[in-house]
Structures are given as structure tokens and as C-alpha cells.
A and B are shown apart, each in its own frame.
Chain A
Amino acid sequence: MNEVTKVNASEATAHPNRWTLKNVITLAVFTVIIFIVMMLVTMATNIVLTPIGAYYAGPGIAAVLAGPFYMVLATRVGRRGVLFFVHLITALAFLIIGQIYTFGVYAVLGVIGELCMLGRDAYKNFWRNCIGFFIYFFAFSGAGILPMLLFRESYLGWYSAYSDPAAVEFLTNVYSSPSAIAIIIFLTAAGAVLGCLIGRAIVNRHVKKAKI
């Protein structure tokens, strides 16, 4: 064990909820990976499964692929605030590419998600992590649903500026249908659980054994 790891380990033992430099860096590194995976999968599903893929299966598939990275992050850092900061960084990344509504949804759901993770050793509990990860991806799929339900007119006005009328009509049809919303939420939840299951297997079989 090198000197830095020794110092970090002793700090972590003395203050279990204090963030060390390594925690901050690990969080940043893995959030970048999760965001990139999310964007690549969304682009691929948009191209391959368009237009259904973008709304129905996109978040679920992205959750399956990003799940292992989140599980490794939650297991390795395991401090209060992990889920909130993952939401916050993603929200800022969306803000940079002009997605104002997505930024708002991520910021609000980040707080709700972190509240769901309150309690001792929440990040070591598999099902609690599944809930947290589902909230994270619900923010991704709900970035269209929630503004549509809360402030429909202004959201459609904003969306119309970015897209052609056919896409706006399709979006209105999908996000106005309760059955479509239910399918999206179900697929996102299924994807999140599957992603976390794969993530847990990877953590147990590879990451713990590698002792990095």
C-alpha cells in the first residue's frame, strides 16, 4: 500500500462521511464515463430505433450499460452526497449543451435521490443503490415527461425552436399518453435493476479481487 492510499484510508476511518481528494476525483472520473455512455447510447438508439428508441427504450438501454460504472462508484466512494453530485455534474453537462429543462429536472431529482439514500451504509445496500440509480435515469427519461406535465406550453415552445413540427407532434403524443409514460418508467426501472445487477457481479468478481 503506497503512502497516499495509507493517508486516505486513515482519513476515511477517522471521518467516515468526509470526502477525501480521491473520492472527489473518482466521482468526477466515473460521472464523465457515465455521461459519455449515456450520450453514446442515446445517439445510437436515436439512429437505430428512431423515433421509438429515443423515448421508450433509450433510457433503459443506457441504464443497463452505465449500471456497472455507477455501482463501482457507489461502492468505492460510498459517502453521503454521491448521488446528488452525480446528478449535479450531469445537470451542468446538460446545461452546457443548452438543455435548460433537463438541468432543472436533474437538480430537483438529485435532491430527492439523495434524500432516498439517507441513513447509514445506504451506498452499500444493493436495493438502495438500485433505487438511487433508477432516480438518476428517471431524471434522464423524465426530462421530457415532467416539464410536459408541469408547464406544457412553455416547454413545447422551447422544444419547437430546436426541432421540426413532426418531432414536436410525436413528442406531444408520447408524453401525453399515460400508457407510454408507464412503459418508459417500467423499461427505465428494468434497465436500472439489470445494470445494477451486472454492476454488482463485476464489483464482486473483478474489482474487489483486483484490489485497486
Chain B
Amino acid sequence: MSRVEDPRIHLATLLAAGIFAIAIRSDWQLHLLMLLSLLYLFAHGRRSQSLRCAIGYAAASCLLIVLPSGLGTALMIVYLTLRMLPVLMIGTLLISSPPGAILWSGARMRLPRQVLIMICILFRFSSVIRIEMAAIRQGIRARGILPRWYSILLHPAMAYECFVLPLIIRGLKLSTELTCAAQFRGVESRRPRSCIYPVGVRPTGLLAVGLYTLGACMILWLVKGNV
């Protein structure tokens, strides 16, 4: 079984990225921080994802230049997304860690069990909900209820009912299914947790966090006018 990066390494990088994303002030710093996050993603074998993120970042940057300044808050959303993309990219790495590895490293950090379960469900479900929403939309289309994209605007109450009700029922069913799966896998066990994946803090992981933090410090130092 291939080795999985310890989620604690991603968590440390995420915290560093979050602090630096808040601390930076100029666009150049943002571009450099984005480059650093792309390199981190690339180093963890996420080549296609890093390419997609780079394209998305470039497109959003162009959008920010093209959009008129009168758009106000819509412009702010684009800017905020752009600004938080370096952090979100690291966040996706943490979210995509196997739940077993997250539980194992969380237990090592002595986090309460209930909190750990909640975190795992949040990570697990946030990726599932998009699929669930798409399935509900397909179901509505298949039944010919809202056949065109503008049908939602013509019948907003029906669209609301057709979307909210299945999502509630699906959410309740999913929580039951996830509970059964978690209990079956022994999530409530009080014994020391083991992990099927070969996880653990390695020197390469520590080096990645160190280089990321060092790079971000240099970005802050460089654009403060020191060079």
C-alpha cells in the first residue's frame, strides 16, 4: 500500500498558509504565495490539480481586471476567492486524506473522539454533497418537472420544494448510513487507534512544511521593500 502523507503535516502547512494569506498586502505577494502552494501541491503528486488551480487563478485574475469596479461585492467575492485559493489548495490536500489517517493522527494529537468524528464527516460529506445535489438535479430533469434552465425562475416555489425535500431525506439517510459504516469500522472503540495506511511524520514532510514557511517568510520580507 502506498505511503500517505501525515495529515498533521498538511494541517501545519494549512495554518502557515492561512496566516500568510492574511498577512500579505500586495498582489505580487499573492502571486508568489500562490506559486508556493502550487509547488507544494505538485510535490505531493497532484499534478493535474495544480495545473487546474493555476488556470483557475489566472482566469480569476483576468476577470478581476476585466470586470467593472461598480460591481462592488461581486468583485469582492472574486478577489476573496483569489486571495484564499493558496490556502484552499492546501485544504483540499488535507480533506482528501483518508479518514483512517485523519482519525489516527487526530488521536495522536489527543483531540476528543467526538470532535474527530465530526471533522471526518465534514471532510467526507463536503465532497459527497456536490454529487448528491447533481443527482437531485438529474432526477428533477428526468421526471420532466423543470425541463429548462429558466424553469426555476418561472416556478421558484416548486423548484425549492423539489430541491430541498430530497436533500433533507438524503441527508437523513446518509447520516444513518455513515453511522452504520462508522460503527462497523469500530469508530467508537476505546482502544488505541491503528491505521491501515503507513502514515507518520517523515523528514520529507517536515522539510516540505519548513520550505513552505521559509518561502512565505521570504515573500513577506521581499515585498516589504527590503530588496
Contacts and interface: CB of A to CB of B under 8 A. Distances in A.
Contacts of B201: none
Given A96-B18, A96-B87, A210-B169, A29 B79 contact: no
A76 B180 CA distance: 17
Q: Which of B171, B174, B188 has the most CB of A within 10 A?
A: B171
Nearest to B164: A68
B172 A26 contact: yes
A4 interface: yes
A79 to B, nearest CB: 12
B125 A29 contact: yes
A89 interface: yes
Contact of A65 (B72, B75, B160, B178): B160
Contacts of B96: none
Contact of A89 (B118, B129, B168): B118
B178 A72 contact: no
Interface in B58-108: 69-77, 79-80, 83-84, 87-88, 91
A207 interface: yes
Contacts of A164: 69, 75-76, 79
Interface string A82-115: 0001000100000111101000000000000000
A54 B73 contact: yes
A68 B74 contact: no
Contacts of A68: 164, 168
Main secondary structure of the interface of A (DSSP, over half): helix
B182 interface: yes
Contacts of B87: 96-98
Nearest to A28: B121
Interface band, chain A: 35 or more
Nearest to B117: A24
A177 interface: no
A33 B25 CA distance: 33
A22 interface: yes
Interface in A31-62: 31-33, 36, 43, 46-47, 50-51, 53-55
Contacts of A96: 18, 87-88, 91
A208 to B, nearest CB: 11
A127 interface: no
A46 B117 CA distance: 34
A9 interface: no
Interface in B167-185: 167-169, 171-176, 178-180, 182-183
Contacts of B174: 29
Interface string B132-166: 00000000000000000000000000001000110
Given A24-B118, A162-B83, A98 B18 contact: yes
Q: What 7 A-B pairs are tightest by C-beta distance, nearest first?
A: A51-B72, A28-B121, A54-B73, A26-B175, A22-B179, A212-B172, A46-B73
Given A8-B179, A25-B121, A54-B72, 13 more contacts: A4-B179, A24-B121, A25-B179, A26-B175, A36-B129, A69-B167, A72-B168, A98-B84, A161-B25, A164-B76, A164-B79, A166-B69, A212-B173
17 contacts: A5-B176, A19-B114, A21-B179, A22-B179, A28-B122, A33-B129, A36-B126, A51-B72, A65-B160, A96-B91, A163-B79, A166-B70, A167-B72, A167-B76, A202-B168, A207-B169, A212-B176
Interface of A: 2, 4-5, 8, 19, 21-22, 24-33, 36, 43, 46-47, 50-51, 53-55, 65, 68-69, 72, 76, 85, 89, 95-98, 100, 161-164, 166-167, 170, 202, 206-207, 210, 212
